[in-house]
Amino acid sequence: MNQEELQSLCIEAGESKFRGGQLFEWMYRHGISSFDSMSNVNKSFREHLNEHFIIQTLAVENQFPSKEDKSVKILFRTHDGHFIETVSMVDKNRHTVCLSSQVGCALDCHFCATGKMGLKRNLSTGEIVDQLIYVRESIDQSITNVVFMGMGEPFHNYDNVLNASDIFHSPKGFNLASTRITISTVGLLPQINQFIKEKRRYKLAISLNASNDKVRSEIMPINKKWSIVDLVNAGKEYSNQKKRLIMFEYVLLKGINDSEEDALELARLLQGIPCKINLIPYNEIEGKYQRPDESTITKFSEILHNYRDEYRVLVRWSKGQDIAAGCGQLAGQNG
Ligand code: SF4
């Protein structure tokens, strides 16, 4: 529940609206796991809360620390027996948490383990927030960034993802700046347009993964619905309206989208758009796709750099590959 919902809950129970703010702070700033810990809330109201509400929605099923870096993958069980995964990645002073927004995903991008599960259901706002509360309580480093790049397409669960983001952003909640919260979409055009109209200024990433419709439609069925040019234009609109750089993500797949021509075509496609480009060398799962070799990745990145030096191009090596926690590898498995 957000602050307004908690205030209504309090008023309905005969308490003051002010109590709603107290509940919000106890739950999200302090991350308490029991209503009985709310020391400034009267006993009879705490009993009412215990009788009618739950404060934790997820149970921890397992935890997988990486041996190669400081990332940890956490496997949660939902109340109805589904599994979702969250990844904590610590790199010097930066602690990024990659959150899931759905159990599975309906979009079936062919290179992604989550897509192979199909969609089971959306996560509630509470289930999204609980992932972050658990990481904050269990990993001894302040959270600096949140990315919705785990299981699911965040814009298929638009309201809950934005509600959770508001709780992360609130000074009475997690107090994360809006620049520290990134929502990544494969490009649901109506929701991107809706997001552009919002007052909220969270960062947006569009997962492009190709430089033309032919290749994109082969690896991402959603591309048959909205063309790559429409998506890129929506990204441009986001940058212009929000005065914030749109991020385009590009998973590099050997022999599919990693040639020098692909890089040039991508550079031309993004010409004139204030953006960042994240190149993600593919993290292999079972299936036909492979990661390009390092020289191909370097060449691809150089072509983009050289085309126009205002592109900010970053090669993002995923963390936690030994625990299948890299981009596109999450599948809710206990092992
Ligand atoms: S890449 Fe994202 S949108 Fe595509 S199938 Fe995987 S989780 Fe879904």
Taking only the tens place, the pLDDT of each residue in 106-153 is 999 999 988 888 999 999 999 999 999 999 999 999 999 999 999 999
- Candidates 98, 100, 105, 151: which one to mutate for ligand 1, based on the most atoms within 8 Å of Cβ? 105
Domains 3-52 and 63-323 agree in fold: no
Please answer whether residues 131 and 99 qualify as being in contact, where contact means their C-beta atoms are separated by less than 8 angstroms.
yes
Residue 327 a catalytic site member? yes
The string of pLDDT tens digits covering residues 38-61 is 999 999 999 999 999 999 899 999
The proportion of the chain whose per-residue pLDDT surpasses 70, expressed as a percent, equals 99
d(CA 182, CA 180): 7
Fold for the domain defined by 3-52: DNA polymerase; domain 1 (1.10.150)
Please answer whether residues 183 and 154 qualify as being in contact, where contact means their C-beta atoms are separated by less than 8 angstroms.
yes
Q: Is 88 helix (H, G, I), strand (E, B) or coil?
A: strand
Give pLDDT, residue 307: 87
CA 76 to chain centre: 16
Half-sphere exposure for 162 (CA within 13 Å, toward CB) = 16
* Position 335 pLDDT exceeds 60: no
Least confident piece of the model among 12-16, 32-36, 324-328? 324-328
Give pLDDT, residue 334: 64
* Position 285 pLDDT exceeds 90: no
Among candidate residues 15, 25, 85, 249, the one labeled active-site is: 85
Give pLDDT, residue 331: 74
pLDDT band of residue 191 (cuts 50, 70, 90) is: very high
Q: Which residues of 217-227 are buried (b: 16+ CB within 10 A; e: fewer)?
A: bebbbbbeebb
Give pLDDT, residue 310: 67
Q: What are the pocket residues of ligand 1 if the criterion is a CB atom closer than 6 Å to any ligand atom?
A: 105, 107-109, 112, 114-115, 151-153, 186, 328
More confident site: 319 or 35: 35
d(CA 210, CA 243): 25
275 CA to middle of ligand 1, Å?
Answer: 22
Nearest atom, ligand 1, residue 220 CA? 4
Give pLDDT, residue 150: 95
The string of pLDDT tens digits covering residues 198-247 is 999 999 999 999 999 999 999 999 999 999 999 999 999 999 999 999 99
* Position 330 pLDDT exceeds 80: no
Domain ranges of the chain: 3-52, 63-323
Superfamily of domain 63-323: Aldolase class I (3.20.20.70)
Among candidate residues 10, 109, 275, 327, the one labeled active-site is: 327
The residue with tokens 């309906």 is: 106
Least confident piece of the model among 62-76, 187-201, 277-291? 277-291
151 CA to middle of ligand 1, Å?
Answer: 7
Give pLDDT, residue 303: 94
209 CA to middle of ligand 1, Å?
Answer: 12
The proportion of the chain whose per-residue pLDDT surpasses 90, expressed as a percent, equals 84
